Structure 1
Amino acid sequence: RMEENEQARKCYKRMLKEAQLTLGNAELGLGRASLRCNDCQESLEHFQAALEIRQRLLGENHPDVAEIFSFLGETHRKMQDYDEALLYLVQAMNIEEETLPPNSFNLAATYDTIGAIYMMLNQYDVALIYYEKVLHIRQAALPADHPQIAAIYGSLGSLFESKGDYSKALNYHEKSLEIAKKTRAATHNIVANAQDSIRRLKAKIKQ
């Protein structure tokens, strides 16, 4: 009889944990929906609620906790609160580096967002470190003509243009365009952006 009661307790505790995790997932979903509606304040409230649930049930050092830190960082980036965004994103990165494979796309996405924020802060050399990490992961894990590789080439092109290295910038935008033309419709914004950048850079190089 005692054994049956112990089994019942374990079962109900597991059910309770699953129910609480489901609540955390609902909070995350509401946060993401609010973010898409540009209601950043509400999204922060839902993400914080999801974070508290996941930290309590999964521990501090879990990839699902890192996921919430990433969304908190993304929300603060959208609010142009870059210092706060970096605090959350670095927490996400630290967990992901410890718990995920080195070629994880989640880790690449975190590096990409951190790089983009450093670009906004005009800290180009720091941004370059993160963009190169993104490129390394994507080149190792994806086909050479994948759109995500075109996207990071475009980011690197913009970075080198901002640094005043127009020939390197041109090289990256040409690589981006070559892939984008193969993999996307010619009207897609990656193609249009790359073409505009190439025209602009060629004009700058001629000057």
Structure 2
Amino acid sequence: MSLLALSYLKLGQHDESDKLCNEALALIETTVEKEHILYAQGLKILGDLRQEQGDYSKALDAYEKVIQVSVIWHDSKHLGVGDTFNAVGNACFKKGDFKEAEESFTEALRIKRLWLDDDNVSIYTTLNNLGHTHYKNKDLDQALKSYTESLYLQMKRLSGRQYDQLMGPDLLSTTREVIAEIQIIQRKDDEMKDFSSAVGNLAATLRNIALVHQDKADLDMALEVYNLTLAARKAQPIRDNPAIAGTAETIGMLQFKKGNHDAAMSAFHEALEVKKEYQGNNTIDVARTLNNLANMHFSKGSLEEAMAMYLEALEIKRLCLGNDSEDVANTLNNIAHVMFTTGREEESLKAYGEVLRIRQSRQGNDCLAVGVTLGNMADVYIKQGNLAMARTCLEQSLQIRKTRQSSNHIENARVAESLALVHGKLGEWSKAEEALQEALQSRKLHPGSSESNILDAMNRITFVKGQIEASGRSEEVSSDVNVPKGQIFEI
């Protein structure tokens, strides 16, 4: 009955598994004592079921009893005890108790190595789990050590090389050689699925190693390992297209971050081709990659190409998500920026107005995204010479930012300085001084402000004070009508 419960658990039929497991435990209780190993085996299945159901506390209670009984029947070094410690580690990890998970995985690994060869799947899987816990505990060096050891063991298993043949000074070269060997290995049809899965596990471990290097800010090494990850994914006999596309896109992001725009473009194009191959042309995932490619073109100054891709992405997003989604607003925002850059101010304002409408309707009138959009619209109005509208947008943008961001946020200072500039052009020198004083306080509080930034801010205030004195009055009244500060401007 316990075995049948386990079968239902593997099939994902939790209700049937739960029923059979409890029936089995009740039957065992009537025939043998609770300290019997059969009772422990039933409890292990129940613990696995509770873990699948997300009830980690009950799973851990069951595992604790399993270990107690197993130690009585066998000893603390029994392989079954190691398997249960591994299950404890998984439950603790999912629960967020990463220190407890680390201790459990460490004990599981110690016991398993007493029984199993190092290239056993269970060994390198537990090493990966241990790497995950080190990573969550912010111990990047230990995470890298665990992942790297797991990688070597997997390469040994896949290549047939001896461990000492793999342990060279250059991990990247060794890995590259093994992946090249994997690509030409011939497998029987009945072995293909398991072999492809093993290569996929190797790629996943490489990705974990790359992620650690990325977090250590070693982008060159991270890129090297991500490229090996991609090569391993392509070496899988059964292609994992989502993993290939995701890895290519990660490479594109890092290349862009390093300023290698051509390499980034190439990686994003590869991701796009793979996504279209397995998803079709009109999916939200394809649209997001198009958006990233458009960003690449924009950064290179290829504005026509950027606009074409933004428009294609917008069409797909509207098809998939409707006209009022945040994704649509994000792409419209990019389109508006291209229009502004190419001198199409009226079209830019229309697009920003649509962005504003969507964000106000979805997030409210005083969300930070609305404040940012109002600031973008102010830039367009300034370029058009419509200073009254620019002033209105900047006042509202600053009001929202002060509510949603800390007083020392650098963007608060920048918006206040832009508002001061507009006040100055309108002859509103007292208001300009007020805005500059506000900007100065933000810059003084901001930890990244340099002495020159603060000195520049003070010099601007000195200039404005001079204008006030020259005008012979401390208050200027504009002939333009102000929108009340509490009202959000809508297009």
Aligned residue number for residue 295 of structure 2: 200
Q: Tell me the distance in 1 between the aligned counterparts of 2:240 and 2:143.
A: 31
CA contact (8 A) 1:51 1:65 kept: yes
- The residue matched to 2:133 in structure 1 has which SS? helix
Distance in 2 (CA, whole Å) between partners of 1:75 and 1:158 is 26
Among 114, 131, 134, the residue aligned to 1:73: 131
Taking a change above 3 Å as real, the CA distance of residues 169 and 91 of structure 1, as seen in their structure-2 partners, is: same
Q: Which has the higher helix share?
A: 1
Deviation per residue, 1:4-23 (Å, 9 max, x gap): xxxxxxxxxxx969x93333
The answer (yes or no) to whether the contact 1:153–1:175 under 8 Å persists in 2 is: yes
Contact 1:145 1:183 in 2 (8 A): no
Q: Which residue of 2 aligns with 1:8?
A: none
Compared CA separation, residues 16 and 100, structure 1 to 2 (3 A): farther
Q: Could you say what secondary structure the match of 1:133 adopts?
A: helix
Contact kept in structure 1, 2:268 and 2:289, CA below 8 Å: yes
2:283 aligned with 1:186: yes
1:30 aligned to 2:88? yes
Structure 1 or 2, whichever has the larger Rg, is: 2
Aligned residue runs from structure 1 range 102-113, under 5 A: 102=178, 103=182, 104-113=199-208
Match for residue 242 of structure 2? 147
- Aligned position for 1:89: 147
Q: Which runs of 5+ in 1 are unaligned?
A: 1-14
What secondary structure, in the 3-state scheme, does the structure 2 residue paired with 1:175 have? helix
SS in 2 for 1:206: coil
SS in 1 for 2:78: helix
Q: 1-side partners of 2:78 and 2:100: how far apart?
A: 20
Instruction: Output the aligned Cα RMSD.
Output: 2.7
Kindly indicate whether residue 260 of structure 2 is the aligned counterpart of residue 165 of structure 1. yes
Partner of 1:21: 79
Shift in Å, 1:111: 0.9
Q: 1:57 to 1:177 in 2, by over 3 A?
A: same
Amino acid at match of 1:47: F
Q: Secondary structure at the match of 1:100?
A: helix
Instruction: Tell me the matched-pair count.
Output: 190
Aligned to 2:187: none
Distance 1:195 1:20, change over 3 A: farther
The alpha-carbon deviation at position 71 of structure 1 amounts to 1.0
Identify which of structures 1 and 2 has the higher relative contact order when contacts are C-alpha pairs closer than 8 Å and 6+ apart: 1
Please give the alpha-carbon distance, in whole angstroms, between the structure 1 residues aligned to 2:207 and 2:143: 13
Q: Which amino acid aligns with 2:297?
A: K
What letter matches 1:126 in structure 2? M
1:116-164 superposed Cα distances (whole Å, 9 cap, x missing partner): 1112222222222222222222112156671111111112112211221
Show CA shifts across 1:14-59 (max 9, x none): x969x93333222222212322222211211221121111111114
Pick from 198, 208, 228: which aligns with 1:133? 228
Structure 1, 143-152 or 65-74: larger mean CA deviation: 143-152
Q: 1:9 maps to which residue?
A: none
Measured in 2, the distance between the counterparts of 1:142 and 1:67 equals: 21
CA contact (8 A) 2:261 2:296 kept: yes
1:107–1:165 Cα change, 3 Å: same
TM-score, structure 1 as length reference: 0.78
- C-alpha contact 1:158 1:169 (8 A) present in aligned 2: yes
Partners of 2:85 and 2:105 within 8 A in 1? yes
- Structure 2 match to 1:50: 108
Distance 1:75 1:61 in 2: 21
> 2:138 & 2:288 partners in 1: Cα distance?
23
Who is 1:6 aligned against?
none
The DSSP-based 3-state class of the residue aligned with 2:126 is helix
How far apart are residue 196 of structure 1 and its match?
4.3
2:98 aligned with 1:40, yes or no?
Answer: yes
Instruction: Please state if 1:174 is matched with 2:262.
Output: no
Q: Which runs of 5+ in 2 are unaligned?
A: 1-72, 160-177, 183-198, 303-491
Q: How big is each residue's C-alpha offset from its partner over 1:171-203, in whole Å with a ceiling of 9 and x where there is no partner?
A: 212321332244358245xx4653443233222
CA gap of 1:61–1:144, structure 2 versus 1, over 3 A, is closer
* Equivalent of 2:211 in 112, 116, 119: 116
- Identity, in percent, stands at 26
